[in-house]
Amino acid sequence: MNKRVGTVYLVGAGPGAWDLITLRGADLLARADAVVYDRLVHPDLLARARRGARLIYAGKEAGGDSVPQDQINGLLIAQARLGRTVVRLKGGDPFVFGRGGEEAMALARAGVPCEVVPGVSSGLAGPALAGIPLTQRGVAGSVTFATGRRAQGEPDWEHLARAETLVLFMAAGRLDKTIRALVGAGRSPSTPAAIIASASLADERIAHGTLGDIALRAREAEIDSPALLVVGEVVALRNQVVRDESDLPIPVPPALTRGALR
């Protein structure tokens, strides 16, 4: 019986594209004995695992088939107790809406060594790749990350409506309800907004406009999950970053005129 307990590495796979994983994450993936991966991990990234490594799917899908979290925790513990080096490969960053904290705590309780390898969260990468700076001098000095889905109860919409820049994860499935909640909590329907699906991938889709019409634009662009909703004056800066004549113009509030940005 192998008494050596292996180490579990909670590795962030990045926002989607296989080459946006960190160097350390890629190195661990190439050396792991077992890889336990999520639904959003790109197949090209899995192809870079060590030949002979065990590839174990442990994904979750809203409204679809999902592997229970307790089962995932047990799987990680069992693989490590076999003496294996285990990479738990999670989309984005393990500790940003990825249940990485739950898994790390379960491993600690079981006495299994664990190391977190941060990844590039889609909440940061998606807007950046779309040409939307989440903060901008003179426009927005803070950003709030949140999810519209909660295991119990509703988000604090009044708090979220006051955010200078708001990035909502898992936004596509209940976009209309989210918009009504934000407007009802005081956010102006004229606030610039964008929704980004499959950030960094070949099928990435972006729709932008205002909070009042973003749901319609998302439907026209056939945007579905996974998607991010970005709300705030910084979204209008995309007009100055992205030069694409096919883009629909984003209404630019008076505060974002050239004089205001000096």
User: Any idea which residue has 């004229």 for tokens?
Assistant: 190
Pick the closest to residue 86 from 124, 63, 115, 108 (CA basis).
115
Q: Is 181 helix (H, G, I), strand (E, B) or coil?
A: helix
Q: Strands of 8-12's sheet, edge to edge?
A: 54-57, 34-37, 86-90, 8-12, 114-117
Look up 38 and say whether it is catalytic.
Answer: yes
Catalytic residue selected from 33, 38, 90, 93 = 38
Q: Which two tokens stand for residue 194?
A: 């964008």
Pick the closest to residue 37 from 47, 52, 23 (CA basis).
47
Neighbours of 170 (CB within 10 A): 18
Q: Which two tokens stand for residue 35?
A: 């890889």
DSSP 8-class letter at 249: P
- Which residues fall within 8 angstroms of residue 67, CB to CB, at 6 or more apart? 57, 58, 59, 60
Catalytic residue selected from 19, 33, 60, 90 = 60
Catalytic site positions: 38, 60
